[in-house]
C-alpha cells in the first residue's frame, strides 16, 4: 500500500477556513454572520514601540538613588520630550522621554516606556458564513466553492475577479497582453510568465497572478510584488496541469480569493485560490482523503521529467524497477494518453482531489 500526498483541485466542496490572530485579541463577528473578503473579523493589539532608558547612567547616579530623581511613576502617561528624571545641583542633568507612551516598568536603574500598541486587523479573506468563533483568537469561515492548492507562492492575500489570459495551459503569460481592464483582477497564465508580465501587472495593479511554473531567475522579482502569486506546478516553465487550468478557465469572471502564503514544513501552509459558487451540495470526492493509491486513481506527477502531467494509474507492479538515476524503486504505470503507460516512482505521484 502506498499513501500519496494530496492536492486539492476541487470544483465544488465545503471550504472551511480558519482565520487566526497572531496574538490573542477580540473577535468582531458571531457564528452565523455572513462575511465578505475585506471585512474585519477580528483585531488585536500588537506591542508598539518602546524605549528602555538607562536613567542611572544618564544621570550619573547609583542605581539605588534613581528613585529619588524620578519625576514620573509607574503607569503615568508621558509625552515626547517630557522630563522623566532630573538630577539637580552643580552637575544637573535630566532625562526626557523620547516617545509618547506610558511608564510600564522600572528596575536596575532603567525605565521602560511603552508607546500605544498598534492594532492588527484580521480580514475574512473569503466570502462565507462564520461557522465557529475561537474565543480571543479567530474564526472559522465556511463557504461552498472551488479550491485549487498551489505548490509555491509569494505575497499575502487578496481577492478579485478571475481573468484567464491564455488559451492553453502551456502558453506563457506575456506583458503585452496585460491591458488596463486587467486592473483589480486575478490573472491566470499557463506555463509561466515573462519579466514584462510581472512589470506590467504591477503597473496595472492587478490583485494576483496564477501560473503553472515560474522561472527561478524571476523568483526574487515576484517576491517583491505587492500582490500574491500562486504557482500550481513548480519552479521552471511547467505547463499548468489540465484539471487546474480547466477549473480556472471555466470560472473565468468569477470572484476569487487568492493567497500566496507558503510554508513547506511544520504547520504547512499552501498557496491557494478559492472561488465561492452558488450554494449546492458538493458531490462526494472519488475517494476519502488519506486513502491508498489504487488502479484507476487520477494522479499528478510532481518531479521532472513529467512534472505537472496528469494521468490515471493503470497498474501497480509489486516489483521494483530501475530508473534513470540507477535507483531501483517501486512505482506505478500511469496512462497519460500516450501509446504506452509510463512508469513513475510512487513517491512522485500525488492525488488530485
Partner 1 sequence: MTEKQRIGSILLADCGTVMTKAVLLEQVAGQYRFVAQGEAPTTVEYPWSDVAAGICHAVEQISEVTGRRFFDRSGNLISPELAGGQGVDVFAATVSAGQPLQVVLGGLVRDLSVASAERAAAGTYSLVKAILASDGREGGLSDEQHVRAIFDAAPDVICIAGGIEGGATTPVLELVETVTTACSLLDPDLRPRLLYAGNSRLRRQVANIVGEWAELRVADNVRPTLKEENLLSAQAELDALYMQDGVGRLPGMDTVSDWSRASLTSTARAFSRLVQYLWHLGDPLKGVLGVDVGGASTTVAAVFDGRPFLTIRGDLGTTFGGEQLLQKRGAETITRWLPEPMSSDEARGLLINKEMRPTSIQQETRELWLEQALAREAIRTTMEVARPGWKPGAAQPYPHLLPLCDTIVVSGGVLAHAPRPGQVALTVLDGLEPIGVSTLVLDAYGLAPALGSVAAVKPLAAVEALDSGCLVNLATVITPVGHAHRGDLILKMRVTYDDGSTFTVEVQYGDLEVLPLLPGQQAVLELRPLRHFDVGLGGPGKAGKRRVSGGLAGLIIDARGRPLRLPKDPKQHQQMRQWLWDVGG
Residue whose C-alpha cell reads 497572531 in the numeric block: 22
Residue of 216, 279, 280, 284 that binds partner 1 (CB under 8 A) = 216
Say whether residue 289 binds partner 1 (CB under 8 A). yes
For residues 177 and 156, give the distance between their C-alpha atoms in angstroms, rounded to a whole number: 25
Using CB under 8 A, count the residues that bind partner 1: 54
Site for partner 1 in 5-44 (CB under 8 A): 5-6, 23-24
For residue 5, whether the previous peptide bond is cis, meaning omega lies within 30 degrees of 0, is no
Q: What is the DSSP string of 187-199?
A: EE-SSEE-HHHHH
Decide: 247 and 277 in contact? Cβ < 8 Å: no
At 132 the three-state DSSP class reads strand
Nearest CB to partner 1, comparing residues 165 and 229 = 229
Residue of 34, 71, 195, 303 that binds partner 1 (CB under 8 A) = 303
Other CB atoms within 10 Å distance of the CB of residue 145: 25
Least CB distance from residue 350 to partner 1, whole Å? 8
Say whether residue 282 binds partner 1 (CB under 8 A). no
Site for partner 1 in 226-245 (CB under 8 A): 234-236
Q: Which of 294, 1, 21, 51 is nearest to 134 (CA)?
A: 21
Nearest CB to partner 1, comparing residues 204 and 342 = 342
For residues 254 and 266, give the distance between their C-alpha atoms in angstroms, rounded to a whole number: 33
Question: Residue 185: CB partners within 8 Å, gap ≥ 6?
Answer: 160, 161, 162, 163, 206, 207
Say whether residue 151 binds partner 1 (CB under 8 A). yes
Say whether residue 108 binds partner 1 (CB under 8 A). yes
Say whether residue 74 binds partner 1 (CB under 8 A). no
Say whether residue 135 binds partner 1 (CB under 8 A). no
Residue of 81, 226, 290, 317 that binds partner 1 (CB under 8 A) = 290
Least CB distance from residue 105 to partner 1, whole Å? 6
Say whether residue 326 binds partner 1 (CB under 8 A). yes
C-alpha cell at 220: 526574487
Least CB distance from residue 52 to partner 1, whole Å? 5
For residues 197 and 238, give the distance between their C-alpha atoms in angstroms, rounded to a whole number: 17
Other CB atoms within 10 Å distance of the CB of residue 247: 17
| Binding positions for partner 1, rule: CB under 8 A | 1-3, 5-6, 23-24, 47, 50-52, 54, 104-105, 107-108, 110, 112, 114, 151-152, 215-217, 219, 234-236, 262, 264-268, 289-290, 302-307, 323-329, 344-345, 347-348, 350
Amino acid at each position: 500500500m502506498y499513501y500519496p500526498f494530496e492536492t486539492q483541485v476541487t470544483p465544488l466542496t465545503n471550504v472551511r477556513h480558519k482565520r487566526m490572530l497572531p496574538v490573542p485579541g477580540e473577535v468582531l463577528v458571531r457564528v452565523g454572520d455572513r462575511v465578505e473578503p475585506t471585512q474585519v473579523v477580528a483585531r488585536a493589539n500588537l506591542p508598539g514601540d518602546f524605549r528602555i532608558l538607562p536613567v542611572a547612567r544618564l544621570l550619573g547616579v547609583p542605581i539605588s538613588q534613581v528613585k529619588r530623581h524620578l519625576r514620573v511613576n509607574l503607569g503615568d502617561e508621558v509625552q515626547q520630550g517630557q522630563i522623566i528624571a532630573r538630577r539637580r545641583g552643580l552637575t544637573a542633568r535630566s532625562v526626557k522621554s523620547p516617545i509618547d507612551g506610558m511608564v510600564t516598568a522600572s528596575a536596575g536603574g532603567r525605565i521602560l516606556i511603552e508607546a500605544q500598541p498598534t492594532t492588527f486587523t484580521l480580514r475574512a479573506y473569503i466570502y462565507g458564513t462564520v461557522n465557529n468563533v475561537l474565543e480571543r483568537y479567530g474564526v472559522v469561515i465556511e463557504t461552498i466553492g472551488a479550491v485549487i492548492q498551489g505548490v509555491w507562492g509569494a505575497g499575502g492575500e487578496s481577492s478579485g475577479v478571475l481573468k484567464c489570459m491564455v488559451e492553453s495551459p502551456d502558453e506563457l503569460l506575456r506583458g503585452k497582453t496585460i491591458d488596463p481592464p486587467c486592473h483589480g483582477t486575478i490573472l491566470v497564465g499557463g506555463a509561466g510568465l515573462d519579466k514584462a508580465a510581472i512589470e506590467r501587472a504591477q503597473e496595472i495593479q492587478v490583485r494576483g497572478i496564477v501560473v503553472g511554473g515560474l522561472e527561478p531567475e524571476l523568483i526574487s522579482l515576484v517576491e517583491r510584488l505587492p500582490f500574491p502569486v500562486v504557482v500550481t506546478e513548480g519552479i521552471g516553465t511547467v505547463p499548468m496541469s489540465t484539471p487546474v487550468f480547466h477549473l480556472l478557465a471555466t470560472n473565468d469572471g468569477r470572484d476569487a480569493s487568492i493567497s500566496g502564503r507558503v510554508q513547506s514544513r511544520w504547520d504547512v501552509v499552501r498557496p491557494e485560490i478559492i472561488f465561492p459558487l452558488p450554494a449546492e451540495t458538493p458531490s462526494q470526492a472519488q475517494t476519502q482523503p488519506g486513502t491508498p493509491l489504487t488502479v484507476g486513481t487520477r494522479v499528478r506527477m510532481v518531479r521532472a521529467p513529467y512534472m505537472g502531467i496528469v494521468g490515471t494509474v493503470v497498474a501497480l507492479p509489486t516489483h521494483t524497477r530501475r530508473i534513470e538515476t540507477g535507483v531501483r524503486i517501486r512505482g506505478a504505470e500511469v496512462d497519460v494518453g500516450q501509446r504506452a503507460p509510463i512508469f513513475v516512482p510512487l513517491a512522485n505521484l500525488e492525488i488530485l482531489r
